């Protein structure tokens, strides 16, 4: 007799209170088969090959743990590049799903969340190994952008599942990582807020690295600024006190000077939306020089090179692993080429770029610019492609901030478009100005509310 045992498509089974991922479950199935074979009750037994499916209908989660209805604590989702004790950190990869072992301890960035007793509701989907900026994932399925599901807009990556989880209301706060825009790009695509933190502010132990020496950061995503501040308080002790202090020191937008950065190739509708949001808030706005805009563009190019090269330096072993997607392998090999040709010059220019930003922040409090230069593209019915990844990487306006190490807030602002209600404004601040950035973002939200109330009268 032949017996075939099936693994749940959700990727989890509940076995005496113990959560198991797909790979662990398959090993258990094979172990059961061995026992049954030894008894002579069956002559052959097989477990099906691992066929991953997201743990939620919108594919936001790789593993989902339903929250308790009786627990009022915030629901926190965690990008599956970040270790959660007892679960395999899959990185959205077939290879790690099949070969990874459960983490023996949480990543360091989860310490305060555990202390505060938040509800961890799951591990979120992502572009494989954090290398995809479209947010697409061929193994677990691509998270569905909730802003217009039928239109099939990319969710943005690599923290695609984290953005979708908060946009759809399945989590109050989600943690993501940002190496070249991987929090801000999906925030922009899905109409939520995301904060790229100052490099070095949040510990990276227990996070699968891409560029740990220069670019990698951990930060929160949420639907609005108050919840984003709660998320930041889970990452940095005393943050809410600093946020409230920032609000007390500069309660009105007229007390804040914003430098407006215009970038070549930006969709005019997006520039118009950013300008309207700044005006509605009531900031003092000054236009930044063309000379600084040229330096920003150079930093964008250099940031791309550093991100690609250091991804290869850190993760090049995955380029030869079975089960790693061919596009991911191609991205790593492109990083090798960047390392051999452009990396050293890009790193050499980094201090000058950091100095240029410091000079601007002597004149303005923040810099405002679009998060994406164009509205998000759509995913074809053929799924992820090299052209799609390249297109999203070209329209991001984020990696220059990573190269400098500064914090940046991406937040939704209304845009005139038939298919999408919002685009994304990016506010960049000096190092460790996260509390001030969120206060400025809160003033922008208040400006929307005031404009909406006036328009409805």
Question: What residues are labeled active site?
Answer: 79, 158, 182
Residues 6+ apart with CB under 8 A from 59: 125, 137, 140, 141, 142, 143, 144, 161, 164
Cα 50 to chain centroid distance, Å, stands at: 26
3-state secondary structure 209-264: CCCCCCCCEEEEEECCHHHHHHHHHCCCCCHHHHHHHHHHHCCCHHHCEEEECCCC
> Which pair of structure tokens corresponds to residue 336?
């090798």
- In terms of Cβ atoms closer than 10 Å to its own Cβ (0-12, 13-18, 19+), residue 412 is buried
Query: Is the separation of the CB atoms in 377 and 388 below 8 Å?
Result: yes
> Which pair of structure tokens corresponds to residue 286?
């000054």
CA distance 287 to 278: 12
CA distance 123 to 158: 14
Cα 46 to chain centroid distance, Å, stands at: 38
Strand-pair partners of 120 = 76
């Amino acid at each position: 007799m032949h017996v075939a045992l099936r693994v749940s498509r959700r990727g989890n089974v509940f076995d005496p209170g113990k959560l198991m991922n797909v790979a662990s479950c398959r090993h258990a199935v094979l172990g059961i088969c061995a026992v049954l074979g030894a008894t002579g009750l069956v002559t052959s037994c097989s477990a099906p090959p691992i066929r991953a499916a997201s743990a939620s209908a919108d594919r936001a989660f790789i593993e989902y743990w339903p929250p308790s209805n009786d627990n009022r604590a915030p629901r926190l989702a965690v990008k599956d590049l970040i270790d959660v004790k007892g679960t395999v950190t899959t990185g959205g990869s077939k290879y790690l799903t099949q070969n990874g072992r459960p983490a023996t301890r949480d990543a360091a960035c989860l310490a305060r969340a555990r202390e505060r007793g938040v509800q961890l509701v799951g591990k979120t989907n992502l572009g494989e190994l954090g290398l995809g900026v479209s947010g697409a994932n061929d193994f677990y399925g691509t998270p569905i952008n909730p802003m217009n599901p039928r239109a099939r807009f990319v969710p943005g990556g690599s923290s695609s599942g984290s953005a979708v989880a908060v946009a759809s209301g399945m989590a109050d706060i989600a943690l993501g990582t940002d190496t070249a825009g991987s929090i801000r790009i999906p925030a922009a695509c899905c109409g939520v807020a995301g904060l790229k933190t100052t490099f070095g502010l949040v510990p990276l132990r227990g996070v699968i690295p891409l560029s740990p020496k220069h670019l990698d950061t951990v930060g929160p995503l949420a639907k609005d600024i108050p919840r984003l501040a709660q998320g930041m308080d889970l990452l940095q002790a005393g943050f809410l006190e600093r946020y409230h202090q920032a609000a007390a020191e500069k309660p009105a937008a007229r007390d804040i000077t914003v430098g407006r950065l215009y970038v070549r190739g930006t969709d005019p509708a997006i520039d118009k939306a950013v300008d309207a949001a700044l005006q509605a808030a009531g900031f003092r706005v000054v236009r930044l020089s063309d000379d600084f805009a040229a330096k920003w563009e150079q930093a964008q190019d250099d940031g791309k090179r550093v991100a690609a090269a250091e991804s290869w330096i850190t993760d090049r072993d995955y380029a030869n692993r079975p089960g790693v997607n061919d596009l991911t392998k191609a991205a790593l090999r492109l990083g090798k080429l960047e390392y051999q040709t452009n990396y050293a010059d890009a790193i050499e220019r980094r201090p000058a770029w950091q100095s240029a930003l410091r000079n601007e922040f002597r004149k303005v409090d923040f810099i405002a610019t679009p998060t994406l230069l164009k509205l998000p593209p759509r995913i074809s019915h053929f799924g992820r492609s090299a052209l799609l990844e390249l297109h999203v990487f070209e329209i991001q306006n984020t990696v220059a901030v990573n190269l400098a190490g500064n914090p940046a807030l991406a937040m939704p602002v209304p845009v005139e478009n038939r298919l999408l209600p919002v685009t994304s404004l990016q506010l960049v601040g000096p190092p460790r100005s996260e509390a001030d950035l969120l206060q400025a973002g809160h003033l922008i939200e208040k400006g929307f509310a005031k404009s909406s109330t006036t328009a409805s009268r």
